[in-house]
Structure 1
Amino acid sequence: MTASTPLTIDVISDVMCPWCYIGKRRLESALKSVPDVMVEVRWHPFQLDDTLPAEGKDRSQYLSDKFGGRERAQAVYSQISQAGKQEGIPFAFDRIQTSPNTLDSHRLILWSKADGLQNEVVERLFKAYFIDGEDLTQPGTLVQIAEDAGMEADLVEQLLETDSDLEKTKKQIGQAHEMGVTGVPFFIIDGRFAVAGAEKPETIAAAIMHAEATKAGEQA
């Protein structure tokens, strides 16, 4: 592998998926452990629940429909909270009032790619939802995230009022399903190796090193 050719890591995720937030942290830890490998991380859309209306659903109702109520949900989320703490994520699930349809969030991530700000936008979306309890269905929330990340907020505000890239985003989600992706996060390293789920940093790092070594071998 030449120094000018970064290893690509395609991350398929959904911003309402807590394990995707954990997976992002573990990927970052993995990358720190392999500093000599040049990597380009690219984010791709997925929807855990594409039946949610555009305005989202009341969180209590969502939890009732999915888990049979908050008590059963809390048992699930307590495990996620513990995993989050280990990665420095202070999940605040009780602050979430609306379970969002994430199509607009994914459009924002798509638009941020042109500015090289995908990672920043993804991070801010996760924080807004899981820590601050913000409503990701509100255009104002997404515009503020875009502005804070360094994007052109006025342009984002205008685009959100249209269907720009909506079908493209849906198509990309469909492509993930066609690839056999049924759960996220899902990491595709160098277009050749897949890591499914929020695996430990050392597992992701090992896959990265293997991809780097085998690609170098191919070019030798």
Structure 2
Amino acid sequence: MSEPAEITVDVISDVACPWCFVGMKRLERAIALAGDVDVHVRWRPYQLDGAIPAEGLPRRQYMLDKFGSEERLREIHDKLVGIGEAEGIRFNFDAMQVSANTLDAHRLIRWAASPKSPPGTQPRMVKRLFEMNFEEGRDIGDRTVLVEAADEVGMDSALVEALLTSNADTDSVRAEIGTAAQMGVRGVPCFLLEGKYAVMGAQEAETLADAIRQIATAKARGELDEKPAT
């Protein structure tokens, strides 16, 4: 009897990216659609703008500077609100006051994958940070908010608070972000299957599920080659 198909999916993502929130929801559905494929998901850091100061920037002005006009910004938000509704996301852009630097959030996501954390903590943490940012308008660069998120998903909040005041894993997270750039990742989400095959963007769940099934089948047959991700 053959072993069940399995696959590892590394999601390169930023919790400041609304399309990454959509991508998370679509990945969840894709895993369900993939049937008996055993999918192991790992969340990897990326920053859309690592130059934002630690205290963040006023979001409305930041977005106007980026997109040029109120009309263009409203058009983008309206499109995302509609897409979000279809995925079970309640985007509330009007509630968002701060464009956060997400470095600390990525450190927290990294710690959520620690063997000391309960199984499944990392995806719960990613989901909670997306919700706090895009649905509740919370500042995910605020360490108090991050400690609250850690407590909600069952992490040791006192330990997280202490770690956040240190430089723990700051260099490691920045190195991972640099590695993604060296791999050619210029936008997120990016779904990296078995460390080799990249699916770029918030693809439909069916597209992701098909890619997962194909790579898992090839892996089970010993057919994966050594080509790097493109």
The residue aligned with 1:71 is: 71
Q: After superposing the two structures, state which structure 1 stretch, 149-158 or 32-41, moved more.
A: 32-41
Q: Take 2:211 and 2:61, find their aligned partners in 1: how far apart are those partners? A: 40
The match for 2:194 among 170, 183, 190 is 190
Q: Secondary structure at the match of 2:47?
A: coil
The one-letter code sitting in structure 2 at the alignment partner of 1:50 is G
The one-letter code sitting in structure 1 at the alignment partner of 2:52 is L
1:202 equivalent to 2:199? Answer no
**CA deviation map 1:125-168 (0-9, x unaligned):** 00000000001111110000000000000000000001110011
The one-letter code sitting in structure 1 at the alignment partner of 2:150 is A
Q: Take 1:134 and 1:37, find their aligned partners in 2: how far apart are those partners? A: 36
1:11 equivalent to 2:11? Answer yes
The residue aligned with 2:134 is: 130
Query: Aligned ranges for residues 6-45 of structure 1 at < 5 Å?
Result: 6-45=6-45
Q: After superposing the two structures, state which structure 1 stretch, 12-21 or 28-37, moved more.
A: 28-37
The residue aligned with 1:164 is: 168
Q: Is the 8 A contact 1:8 1:40 kept in 2?
A: yes
Q: Take 2:71 and 2:148, find their aligned partners in 1: how far apart are those partners? A: 33
1:2 equivalent to 2:3? Answer yes
Q: Is the 8 A contact 1:13 1:44 kept in 2?
A: yes
Q: Is the 8 A contact 2:81 2:90 kept in 1?
A: yes
Q: Take 2:171 and 2:195, find their aligned partners in 1: how far apart are those partners? A: 24
In the TM superposition, residue 217 of structure 1 has moved relative to its aligned partner by 1.2
Count of matched residue pairs: 218
In the TM superposition, residue 192 of structure 1 has moved relative to its aligned partner by 2.6
Contiguous gaps of at least 5 residues in structure 1: none
Q: Take 2:41 and 2:99, find their aligned partners in 1: how far apart are those partners? A: 27
**CA deviation map 1:27-63 (0-9, x unaligned):** 0111111230111100000001111011110012211
Contiguous gaps of at least 5 residues in structure 2: 224-230
Q: Secondary structure at the match of 1:27?
A: helix
The one-letter code sitting in structure 2 at the alignment partner of 1:2 is E
Q: Is the 8 A contact 1:14 1:45 kept in 2?
A: yes
Q: Is the 8 A contact 1:121 1:146 kept in 2?
A: yes
The residue aligned with 1:176 is: 180
Q: Secondary structure at the match of 1:41?
A: strand
Identity of aligned residues (%): 45
The residue aligned with 2:111 is: 111
Q: Take 2:59 and 2:146, find their aligned partners in 1: how far apart are those partners? A: 19
In the TM superposition, residue 6 of structure 1 has moved relative to its aligned partner by 3.6
